[in-house]
């Protein structure tokens, strides 16, 4: 079994409060979970209202399958949200 862990750092420069950020994060996490059947959590920068760091994980028998699934998640975030993708890193275990 292979587990893939994707850490995504997003910027939302128009957000003015933590409450507004949390609404965006809650919506984003729910849609990603529903569409891709992966685990999603906010893992860092919890008190920074313009930076979102998500940890996204999934497991499979194939590293290629995990890579494909997590690439689809990244494409979904970039195409459906007005967030700036600052960085991402993918690790396999």
- What gap in Å lies between CA 56 and CA 70, rounded to an integer? 8
Total domains present in the chain = 1
* pLDDT of amino acid 22: 93
| pTM, two decimal places | 0.87
CA-angle at 20, arms to 82 and 56, nearest 5° = 60
* pLDDT of amino acid 65: 93
- What gap in Å lies between CA 15 and CA 38, rounded to an integer? 26
Q: Is the separation of the CB atoms in 1 and 84 below 8 Å?
A: no
Q: Return the minimum-mean-pLDDT range out of 4-13, 65-74, 76-85.
A: 76-85
**CATH code of the domain in which 31 resides:** 3.30.70.1120
Residues 32-77 have pLDDT tens digits of 999 999 999 999 888 888 999 999 999 999 899 999 999 999 999 9
Residue 4, C-beta contacts closer than 8 angstroms, at least 6 positions apart: 57, 58, 59, 60, 63, 66, 67, 69, 70, 90, 91, 92, 93
Beta bridge pairs of residue 42? 54
* pLDDT of amino acid 45: 86
Average pLDDT of 6-29? 92
* pLDDT of amino acid 49: 86
Structural domain for 13, as ranges: 2-92
């Amino acid at each position: 079994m292979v587990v893939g862990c994707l850490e995504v750092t997003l910027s939302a420069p128009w957000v003015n409060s933590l409450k507004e950020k949390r609404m965006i994060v809650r919506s984003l996490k729910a849609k990603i979970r529903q569409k891709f059947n992966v685990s999603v959590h906010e893992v860092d920068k919890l008190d920074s209202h313009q930076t979102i760091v998500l940890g996204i994980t999934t497991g499979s028998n194939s590293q290629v399958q995990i890579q494909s699934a997590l690439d689809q998640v990244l494409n979904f975030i970039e195409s459906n949200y007005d967030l700036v993708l600052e960085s991402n890193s993918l690790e396999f275990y």
